[in-house]
């Protein structure tokens, strides 16, 4: 399932709201700084990294299956 830009923005909004309420932050720069300090990457970056990781593993598995099929 591919996440749409709207879904990613909605997830990021939830994270931003939590940080805003926990630390009483209003400024976007302060929000990003706080999230960085706590190791909370932007949702778009997380989705991009996980997609790349999945595709790399998928590529390895697909190569193994193709090699097994061509040996017969």
* H or E element in which residue 16 lies: helix 5-23
Q: Measure the CA–CA gap between 18 and 26, rounded to whole angstroms.
A: 12
Reported as a single tens digit per residue, the pLDDT across 52-70 is 998 888 787 767 666 667 6
Cα–Cα nearest to 16, from 39, 40, 49, 37: 40
Q: What is the pLDDT of residues 6-55, one digit of tens each?
A: 999 999 999 999 999 999 999 999 999 999 999 999 999 999 999 999 88
| Model pLDDT, residue 72 | 56
Check if the beta carbon of residue 18 is closer than 8 Å to that of residue 43.
no
Question: What pLDDT score does 45 carry?
Answer: 95
Query: How many structural domains is the chain composed of?
Result: 1
Closest to 31 measured CA to CA, from 45, 19, 43, 18: 19
Range of the structural domain that residue 56 is part of: 5-71
């Amino acid at each position: 399932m591919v996440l749409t830009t709207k879904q990613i923005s909605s997830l990021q909004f939830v994270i931003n709201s939590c940080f805003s309420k926990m630390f009483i932050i209003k400024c976007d720069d302060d929000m990003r700084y706080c999230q960085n300090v706590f190791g909370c990457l932007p949702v778009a970056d997380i989705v991009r990294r996980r997609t790349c990781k999945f595709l790399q593993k998928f590529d390895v598995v697909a190569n193994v299956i193709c090699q097994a099929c061509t040996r017969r």
